[in-house]
Amino acid sequence: MIGMIVHLLVLFGLIGAALMVFFFRDLLAATLAAGFFSFLVALEFYILQAPDVAISQAAIGAGLTTAIFIIAIRATTRYEGEESQ
């Protein structure tokens, strides 16, 4: 029963993070929400007893990809639809 509740909490967290990524106009906030989404996916893999996949998801998905996106955002504009001058 507790396992089902944890799975549902992670599922609702995934849905919430995906909606945040979709609706945020601030690219940095959307990138952080995507990193949180990847962290929740890694947590779900760990709960499903796949720790090797969880570690790789956390390292690549939540860590490295988020860092690369943040570096790319620093080189461009931060807000979607903003004109660079």
Q: What is the pLDDT of residues 23-65, one digit of tens each?
A: 998 999 999 999 999 999 999 999 999 999 999 999 998 899 9
pTM of the model: 0.86
Q: Classify the C-alpha dihedral 30-9-15-59 as positive or negative.
A: positive
Look at residue 8 and tell me whether its pLDDT is greater than 90: yes
Cα–chain-centroid distance for residue 69? 11
Of 28, 25, 30, 36, the residue nearest 61 (C-alpha): 36
pLDDT attached to residue 85: 54
20 confidence band (pLDDT: 50, 70, 90): very high
**Beta carbons within 8 Å of 7's beta carbon, 6+ residues apart:** 44, 47
